Chain A
Amino acid sequence: MRVQNVAPTLRVSVVTLTAAQVRALHTTPVTLVLGAGAGRIVVVESVALVANVLTQPFQCGGADHLDLFYAADLTDALTPEFVDFFALNASSFVYASGAIQNFSVLQSVAVNQAVLLKSANDYNAGGITASTLGAAGTGYAVNDTGIIAAADSDATYIITSVGALGVVTGFTITNPGNHYSIANGVATATGGAQPGVGTGLTVNITAVTQGDGTLKVVTYYQVVPVP
């Protein structure tokens, strides 16, 4: 007879999220590890995130952080938050050791619970790719310039046509900017090469760039029986 026992097994789960899954990661969290069955808790030892960005980075319009949670408790993160993980706007990597951030949780929210990845906001923001005129404002002149005053306030416009009293009838986005969300009536501010004296122009952002690529999540974990 031969008996061979091994050291406690460190299990691993590898989940690769599609771009669509990443973009909806707040609305639809993704399961990283299934529940381990009655009387068992999945204990996350560490997790690594590997983002592979293709042509467009993932951007969100608000707080940017990713967290691991038990499915029954979307409050107590299982690792330190991954803050601004996508802020490099390029393929990037991060890892963290597991530790419940709120010191402890009830067994009832941990036993036989899947481990999920969830973001603070969906990654559905980006540079402006399509827009229409909102409020036309007044006092503008052709070639007046300014910024779209939202998100990173780095998208810029130029007035291409005006009507009586300098009412804007046409404009072009000259820099798409970053972290913009689809919205109507977004304010502008004059500035740049020819600020002019116009006021009251707003734009309707109808489309923004969509992050592409994938996010691979490697979760190292153990299963602990209870009690």
Chain B
Amino acid sequence: MPDYPENFRSVQELLYSFYGGRFVTIPLETDFTIGTTATPLSSLAAQPRVTRLISNTGSSNFALSFKSAVTITTGIYLTPGGTFAMDWYYDGDLLDRPLYAISDAVGGTLHMVERLLNGA
């Protein structure tokens, strides 16, 4: 007989073993239509965020920043189809900071997916 335990029976068992506790999350998705005015990427998240992924789903370019006065030339540049991702492991509590976006044309669109701790 091998000297290791039975296989994990679920992702939650795997996560429990890895983190030493339960790690249950839920997704929250939000769409934004943003023009040439810096706009906060607000969400209705009621739980702590552990991951945030933003996709430029339109045809305009975007700039992202933690600064509310971001302009199209002073932020993180995101072209159509580009993505911007943050997670707790690399970015820590920056995940909870407000993030702003500005487009170089009216009608720019972003799609945001957040991963939230469930029940926290």
Contacts and interface: CB of A to CB of B under 8 A. Distances in A.
* Same complex origin of A and B: yes
Interface of A: 1-6, 8-9, 36-40, 223, 225
Contacts of B85: 1-4
Contact of A40 (B59, B78, B79, B94): B59
Interface string B52-79: 0000000110000000000000001111
Interface residues of B, number: 20
Contact of B104 (A6, A37, A225): A225
A5 B79 contact: yes
Most buried by A among B59, B60, B83, B94: B59
B27 interface: no
B113 interface: no
A3 B82 contact: yes
Interface in B97-120: 104-107
B6 to A, nearest CB: 36
Most buried by B among A1, A37, A223: A1
A122 B30 CA distance: 46
Interface of B: 59-60, 76-86, 90-91, 94, 104-107
A130 to B, nearest CB: 52
Contacts of B79: 5-6, 8
A1 B91 contact: yes
A197 B86 CA distance: 91
Given A5-B79, A9-B80, A38 B107 contact: yes
Counting from the closest, the 7 A-B pairs by CB-CB distance are A5-B82, A223-B59, A6-B81, A5-B79, A225-B105, A9-B81, A2-B85
B84 A2 contact: yes
Contacts of B106: 38-39
Contacts of B77: 3, 5
